[in-house]
Amino acid sequence: MRCDLLVVGAGPAGCAAAVAARRAAGGLAVTVVDAAHFPREKLCGGAITGGGLRELELSGLALRVPHATATHAVLRAAGASLRVELPRPAAVVRRLELDVDLVAQARAAGANVIEGARLEAVQGDLAMTGQGGIRFRVLVAADGVSGASRRALGLPAGRRVPLREAYVSAARQRDLVFDLDAGLPGYAWRFPCVEGGQAAETCGVYSSEQVGGLDEALARFAEREGMQGEGRPGRSSIRLFEAGGPVGKGNAFLAGEALGVDALAGEGIRYALWSGRIAGRLAALELSRGRSVSLRAYRARLLASRSGILLHLGARLAGRLYGPDPRWRGAAADRQVAEAIAALVSGEFPVRPVLGLLARLPSVVRAGGV
C-alpha cells in the first residue's frame, strides 16, 4: 500500500491531522492506522476547554457526541477555594464516544482509516504494521504515550508521569474542580460528564512528577469529596511536553501525546488537536508543492500559535506551581490569578491575562526566576 501522508494513531491528534491535510489538499492520499478497534476506552478526564473547542473548529472537526457543559471552574490552593467563570464554557466528553466519532469524521473527509493495524517498525519511507507494509511520503506520529512511533523513529521516550481516574455514576456538581491541596506535585480533579444519557462525574489525580501513592491520594480525595468510585481506579500515564524536546525526525512529525501534553494542567485533547492540525496542514501544503517537509518549519509554527505559547508557558510554570516553594501555591489562591488561568484555558488571547498574572505576583516571579 502507498499513500502521501501516513498518520499513526486515530485519536484526536491523528484525526485532526487527517482532516486538516484533506482540507488543505483535497487530492492527497491520507491513510490513518491505529492498533485499536473503535470504539475503545481511553483513560482521560475528558475536559475540552474553550481553547480546545477552538482547536476543534480550526481542525475542521465538530463536537457531535453527548457531553456535559461546565461554565465555571473551582481552584483550590493553600486552603482557599475560588470559583470563577470560564469566559468560554468547557465540554466534558467520554473518550469512548468522542474518538469513534472523530474517526467517522476523518473517514468522511476522505481519509482511509485502518483499525487493528499496530505500528511495528519504520524503515525509511516504509511503515510496517500488523496489517502489512505502507509506503509514505510524510508520517505524522500521533499514537499517544503507549504507541510505538517514538521508538520506531529512534527518538527518546520522553517524560512520562502517572495518572489515576475513577468513575462516579451520580453527579453532584457541574464545575471543573482542580484541587492543588491533594498532597502531590499536581492536583486532584472532579469533572461532570454524561454516561448513557445520565449526568455523572469522574474524579482523578495527576502528578507532574514520578511519585508513588497516587491510589491513596485519589482515595483520600474521593472520601473528602463524598464520592464513591465504582470499581478500581484506572491507571495510566501521560507524556509531558518538553520545550526543548524533539518535534519529529526526518520526514516524520510528532503530534498529540507522542509530542506531549500540557505539564501545568495535564490537558491533552486541546494540544492534540492543535499539534495534529498544524502537522497535517503543513505536511499537505509541502507535499502539494513538491517540497520536502521541514522540522524547523513545524517547530516554528507550533511556537507561533496561541496554544503553542500557552504550552511553553505551562511547561515553565508547572515546576514552580507544583514544586516545594509554598509561595507559588499560595499565589494560585489569588482571585486575579484564578481568573487569568480561566481566561488562558478558555482560549482567550494570552497577553492580557499573563501580564495581569505577572503584575499581580512580582515577588513570586522574581523569586521563581520566570
Q: Which of 78-87, 101-110, 121-130, 248-257 is predicted with the least confidence, judged by mean pLDDT?
A: 78-87
Q: Among residues 209, 237, 265, which one ends one of the domains?
A: 237
Q: Does 263 share its domain with 213?
A: no
Q: Does 26 share its domain with 104?
A: yes
Q: Among residues 204, 237, 270, which one ends one of the domains?
A: 237
Assess if residue 316 is contained within a domain.
no
Q: Does 150 share its domain with 298?
A: yes
pLDDT of residue 115: 97
pLDDT of residue 366: 47
Assess if residue 289 is contained within a domain.
yes
The CATH number that applies at residue 178 is 3.30.9.10
Q: Does 118 share its domain with 34?
A: yes
Assess if residue 230 is contained within a domain.
yes
pLDDT at 66 over 90: yes
Q: Which residue has the higher pLDDT, 336 or 151?
A: 151
pLDDT of residue 98: 96
Domain that holds residue 149: 5-42+54-63+94-159+240-311
Cα separation, 341 vs 66, in Å, equals 26
pLDDT at 367 over 80: no
pLDDT of residue 198: 87
Per-residue pLDDT tens over the stretch 220-247: 998 898 886 665 678 889 999 998 899 9
Q: What percent of the chain has pLDDT over 70?
A: 92
Q: Does 192 share its domain with 137?
A: no
Per-residue pLDDT tens over the stretch 33-43: 999 999 998 88
Q: Does 192 share its domain with 305?
A: no
Q: Please tell me the pTM assigned to this model.
A: 0.93
Q: Does 38 share its domain with 100?
A: yes
Q: Does 171 share its domain with 274?
A: no
pLDDT of residue 229: 62
Q: Does 248 share its domain with 150?
A: yes
Per-residue pLDDT tens over the stretch 249-302: 999 999 999 999 999 888 899 999 999 999 999 999 999 999 999 999 999 999
Per-residue pLDDT tens over the stretch 163-187: 999 888 877 889 999 999 998 999 9
Q: Does 249 share its domain with 338?
A: no
Give the count of domains, the chain.
3
